Amino acid sequence: MIFREFDMPLYNGGIPGTLKNAIDWVSRGIPIPFDQKPLLLLGASPGRLAAVRGLWHTRVPFEAMGALVYPKMFGLPAADRAFDEGGNLLDPKVHAALEATLQGFHRFAKAVTQ
């Protein structure tokens, strides 16, 4: 069987084991560090699905620890080609979507921490 680089699964849409292990160890702290803390999930992937499937799985342990996970998530597709040499996003629509997500999260975080 021959695999090309872009055919390789990115944890098959799940949470990477190292990240899950880190989250599990953090959850052992007293008090739980993420309890009642706002959290925004962002992902990037060289593929078209932009890590969004993995972000859905990542929500679960954070919500179980009491984190206030922002309802919207942001995934950057084709991340390996999304930036110019200066580190700026090339696609204005993607930039606008990220900006809107960040602004929405900022409002959410202010509301839940007051």
pLDDT in tens, the chain (114 residues): 444 444 445 677 888 888 899 999 999 989 989 999 999 999 988 888 878 888 999 999 999 999 999 999 999 999 999 999 999 999 999 999 999 999 999 999 999 998
Instruction: Provide the pLDDT for residue 1.
Output: 47
- The tokens 């975080």 sit on which residue? 109
pTM of the model: 0.84
Instruction: Provide the pLDDT for residue 68.
Output: 98
The vertex-109 CA angle with 103 and 114, nearest 5°, equals 135
| Terminal C-alpha separation, the chain | 56
Q: Domain of 90?
A: 5-112
As for how many domains the chain has, the answer is 1
Three state DSSP letters for the chain: CCCCHHHCCCHHHCCCHHHHHHHHHHCCCCCCCCCCCEECCEEECCCCCCCHHHHHHHHHHHHHCCCEECCCCEEECCHHHCECCCCCECCHHHHHHHHHHHHHHHHHHHHHCC
Instruction: Provide the pLDDT for residue 14.
Output: 84
Read off the CATH number of the domain in which 35 is found: 3.40.50.360
Contact 89, 81 (CB under 8 A): no
Instruction: Provide the pLDDT for residue 45.
Output: 86
